[in-house]
Structure 1
Amino acid sequence: MSALETIEVSLPDGTRKSLPVGSTSLDLAQGIGSRLAKAAVAAVVDGIETDLNVLLSAGAKVSIITAESDAGRHVLRHSTAHVMAQAVVQLFVGAKFTIGPAIEDGFYYDFELPGGKTFSDTDLASITEKMREIIKADQSFTRDEMSAKAALELFADQPYKCEIITRVTSGSADGTDASEVQGGDVVSVYRNTDSFVDLCRGPHVPTTGKLGHFALMKVAGAYWRGNEKGPMLQRIYGTAWESKVALEEHITRLAEAEKRDHRRLAVEMDLLSFPSELGGGLAVWHPKGGIVRKLMEDYSRHRHQNGGYQFVFTPHLANADLFETSGHLHFYKDGMYPPMEMDNGTYYPKPMNCPMHCLIYRDRQRSYRELPLRLFELGTVYRYERAGTLHGLLRIRGFTQDDSHIFCTE
């Protein structure tokens, strides 16, 4: 084969490989070894994740993404989410589908079902069965690129997809949109069959046959774009792995974690509770929980004291001017409780302690000999977490931080 008929690409270890013109990343993987080709799900070409069937150019730097890697599992989960959407659309005529990203250890997809219908456990079983049919059919994930106008026509009956396309191409995209469309005037879609197409930036596995080790876990309600004023959608959570063993190990870990869920243990051990009379995300600590909390606080105080920190205390409220000056009000207002008007001023429950520690430092002229000045506080703060995100002590509206700040010269 002449030099004109070949290209040369480089691997992560610096090795260079010669390939026929028109070769893909999958061809490269097959040339290296059958085991690598079997494990391959996508590739990174010149720093960009791509499908395995993308043609390689001369001089490209290529690494193969395998199923057992973190990046590979992300691809598996994203592709499985697409298969789930395909199954739902086929089973529930008139369903509207929104986004289906891969997340840590799994994936989800949000749907709006006709007539306000909600998914049941029986529905999850039917969706799982349909997904297995799609996977067994070994359908190809075929990428296509088109103009935003053409994409809007293609998804004319899918309002959420049209909204995403419009926001991305108009420059008003957020994280929700970016997970689906890369940006610019060109929109990419993936087809599994002539009857199913989804908006996506990719990459995906070559065919649905690469999938199969998955489980649909639960259904939950989710507001569109996380806005409680928006439509309530039906979210299906699932998990997907590279092997049956990996899937079973994950299911076992979840079962063990459930036994140790702090929300469950808090009740069983009489540590704390979340009375409805207080409102969502606000806990009260019972005597036994108070002992545990005191031990933790004493340990934190001891470690900070040994580290040269000085203890301070600050109030739970502050004038809005303070948070305006610090910049927190501009950036975090949506995560703060509503303001209170009193004494001819506006006050907020504090969502952080930082500005108040700065006031302590600024209270008098300091000498360089005092630096570094280490301030520490067990400060209780209040943040308005959306109701749908509250989760025991992990996502809560009132909590105490072991918060510290260091004032130094550099």
Structure 2
Amino acid sequence: MNDFIAARGQMAVSLAFHIIFSCVGMVMPFLMAFSHYKYLKTNNEIYKGLTKAWSKGVAILFATGAVSGTMLSFELGLLFPKFMKHAGPIFGMPFSLEGTAFFIEAIALGFFLYGWDKFNKWFHWFCGFLVGVSGLASGILVVAANAWMNSPSGFDYVNGKYLNIDPIKAMFNEAWFSQSLHMSVAAFCATGFAVAGLHAYFLLKGKNREFHTKAFRIAVIFGIFGAILAPISGDVAAKSVAKRQPIKLAAMEAHFETEKGASFLIGGIPDEKAETVKYGIKIPKLLSFLVDGNPNSEVKGLKDFPKEHWPPVAVTHFAFQIMIFFGTVMMGISVLYLFALFFKKNWLEKHWLLKLFVIATPFGYIALEAGWTVTEVGRQPWIIYGIMKTAEAVTPMPGIQYSFYLFTLIFISLSLIIIFLLRRQIKMVPYLYDATDPLFHSKK
């Protein structure tokens, strides 16, 4: 493994792990705050128990996310120093603001965890809600920095120099809104489905039904909200990509030939050497319509661009297809649940419906990881699109493969620790927060 591949691999592994913690931090506090609100309005002790259970999960994942996020910030400077040298002064503002949001999130979480029966009840609730707001803001600011890499702005690039720097314009670049919107919606979808699937599993086991029913109904609201909005935010993001990075769009669709009335490809195996796609299903004119609103508009193919600027077509295309597949499945489950909610209420207690949510537990995060693969791999060979190549930014320091092995081992260890802690917490839930248990009130 050469140093360039090791550096890219280390960032890929780090991002793949951290994105899960980030998305949980963006959404889980809102579930917690919603449950807390229900407790304050109804005085139902089950909602209090649920809020406490979820808050412990938030605390575990927040601590781990803080570790992985800190590692990522060091990695950017260690692995890609030339990138940080030039890009740091330009897109440093969202990173600094993200740090502020992180500190607010940490303080608010501390207040919430230790503020039971100590603060005014509505101030205490507000602290929990603030954890979600600051977590969401933190995620959006990081995505804004990433969007700048896809749509660099806020400076003039003259003779290899970065002049007339405008940090505000850099932060609010052309890609920040579409990427932030799609990422936020995906986070709600993934986390909502994961939490709903977990509580659906316990409902199937027949454990503490009232507790898990309330938890499932809250989580499923957030999951459905994300799943239904995901195609809309995805359409906004895809149109933005088509305008700013047509080569990435072409790779996503394995679209080699420029044509009018371009077809949307479902599935297929791209052959970059032969510049063809095998076994795919084409829907005539749909790609042109999705990109431009006109079924006869022209969509550029990969052949219109220098081959050395092509991203890895197969990886980008497969990741895009995986994202669409799992997103579509979750949207279908959401529509089915809404149909049951309004027209077939007896379905809500059926095991087959709960089993669907159990099966779909990881789908949101699979789609999320695939979407980030599209974003990052589809930008290659550029680290700053159209300006600096990734190979030009990597550190000249040798032995990066050993850093890759070390950091991978650290992330695997963190994952095992999280699984152990969450598994123990989940096992304790039916006993610590069962309002039908006479010991419940003594455990509060």
The two structures have a TM-score, normalised by structure 2, of 0.17
Query: Larger relative contact order (C-alpha < 8 A, sep ≥ 6)?
Result: 2
The two structures have a TM-score, normalised by structure 1, of 0.18
Q: Which structure has more strand as a fraction of its residues?
A: 1
Q: Which structure has more helix as a fraction of its residues?
A: 2
